Amino acid sequence: MGGARRLEDVMTPFVVFIYLCAASTEPADCDRRTAIDVALGPQAANELMCGLGAQEMMARTAIRPKDGEYFKIACVRRKVVAGNDEARQEADRGDSRSDRPAR
């Protein structure tokens, strides 16, 4: 099982975050700290699949930005700490306190 887990991490090195940001926030400044809301998107093997997967996810949901809001996609390279399966599982779920936006 450990070998399969390592292979999965190699095959999905990116985690997709979708930020809902206020139009008054410059796109360069829109991140998990400044976003109105943050959604964890699909895992992706590369940057291209990150963008496509996020767009597909947004198209399938009823969530739409209101006037004065926009979506931003962030492709974040997965960080794996060897021997720390609990932290890896938490990161995969997006439950980490550091992944939640400050409000």
Which of these, 28, 25, 17, 23, lies nearest to 101 by C-alpha position? 17
Alpha-helical runs (H) found in the chain: 2-11, 47-60, 85-93
Q: What distance in Å separates the CA atoms of residue 103 and residue 96, rounded to the nearest whole number?
A: 16
- State the chain's mean pLDDT as an integer: 77
Q: Which residue has the higher pLDDT, 28 or 5?
A: 28
Residue 20 pLDDT exceeds 50 = yes
Contacts 24+ apart (CB under 8 A), 90-98: 91/15, 92/15, 92/43, 93/40, 94/15, 94/40
Q: Model-level pTM? A: 0.63
Q: How many CB atoms lie within 10 A of CB 43?
A: 18
pLDDT in tens, 49-86: 999 989 898 888 877 899 999 999 999 888 766 655 55
Residue 91 pLDDT exceeds 60 = no
